[in-house]
Amino acid sequence: MTTSYDLIVIGGGPGGYAGAIRAAQLGFNTACVEKEEILGGTCLRVGCIPSKALLQSSELFHEAQHSFADHGIESDNLRFDLDKMLKRKERVVTTLGRGINALMKKNKITRYSGLGSIVGDAEGGLVRVAVTKSDGVEEISAKHVIIATGSKVAQLRGIQVDGDRIGTSAEALSYPEVPKHLVVIGAGAIGLELGSVWSRLGAEVTVLEYLDRIIPGMDTELAGSFQKILTKQGLKFRLGTRVTGAEVKDDGCLVHIEGSEPIECDRVLMAVGRVPNTQGLGLENTGIATDTRGRIPVNGHFQTSSPGIYAIGDVIAGPMLAHKAEEEAIACVERIITGYGHVDYSTIPYIVYTSPEFAGVGSTEALLKEQGIPYKKGSFPFMANGRAKAMAISEGMVKVLAHAETDRVLGVHILGVQAGELIAEAAAAMSYGASSEDLARTCHAHPTLAETIKEAAMAVDGRAIHM
């Protein structure tokens, strides 16, 4: 007899486990299939969480080196223990992984450890899923199946990742020693975050980017300021650069660049983006065809072309963000069970966790101009904020974009200390259709970093107080 469920979720990442938990909360008998031992997906194991742990450790070391003296704190003979940093990172991952396992048990979700693949279309109202484990294959079935298998690192022609000298973000989270010279290919969030970690710990870091700017898709004005700040911190940038290959040579690497001399370095971090993880899912058995970018097409309710099969997160169109996957998973499950589920894609925030952080939500100026939407803007610098000055971290600014006619907030972009936390206020305000006047009239406690948002909103109409 094949064990049957109301819902099977293939993938135990942020989208997968969140969707499984929500389904269980709503009364569904739910199973989750995940091939990795630790639930949480790339985000928890080798992505968002471990990188933030190392970012925090390296930032504290950097502050002790460069900022403590200004506060009257002496830190003579300062040093760091890389092994302890890496072990702390692993403890964070292990603890959170155990927490997710506990949540699965609490919600009575059946966990299958193995590679999940769909055997075929729905038969008798059920979709059959094969779970390939170390000791064989087990078949289970459900009326509904959600594909939440996330993404994997994109490859670049001419570069062969060896998992050591030439690697991805996974390897860059566990270098056994600080590289003398690290070359990062790609100036997106992953490249800049991990480049910052190793730069703070003493590595020379060179960032190579094919485009003529860093952080594509984010606010152009702030991205320019961001690059200047990172350059001041020690990162070197070569924009408009096409990498044609990379090879291991002796005890180091050689990175080949079109029209230029190759770069010698100790290690190479390839961070050119991610691609949907849809191989081995058995899609050929369902009639589901991926698009030209390997994504699974879905309708507005996350349904694929095959009855009973849904997809969310990195395997479908949209930004590859853990919180986007979680929102989609919950909306998908609620739609299946209650008949209603919704994601507001205009209010999904994005964050780069460097120091300072870079965050945004909604439209950029470039997008508004491209779409012909009339807008007005206000900005406010952190250097004019009392809390930021007291913290001695006053680089960057807040920008608020509002519709020129309705005053509705269309986008907020922040470069500065704790931008990742501050952006939540903007996302909440936009979710409720707030105007810049609403933000400006909201009383913000003083002194706080959040006052920069209020002042930027006031600046939309030219009435900022402290500038």
C-alpha pair distances (Å), 277 with each of 36, 53, 157: 14, 25, 19
CA dist 397 to 3, 97, 146, 228, Å?
56, 36, 41, 14
Nearest to 270 by CA among 170, 144, 373: 170
Looking at 181, 256, 301, 446, which residue is catalytic? Answer: 446
Structure tokens at 288: 């589901």
Burial 289-325 (b: 16+ CB within 10 A, else e): eeeeeebbebeeebbbebebbbbbbbbbeeebbbbbb
Contact by Cβ (8 Å): 243, 263: no
**Which of 300, 412, 396 has its CA nearest to residue 350?**
412
Distance between start and end Cα atoms, the chain: 72
Rounded to whole angstroms, how far apart are CA atoms 22 and 13? Answer: 14
**Catalytic annotation on 446?**
yes
Q: Which two tokens stand for residue 413?
A: 């972009």
Active site residues: 446
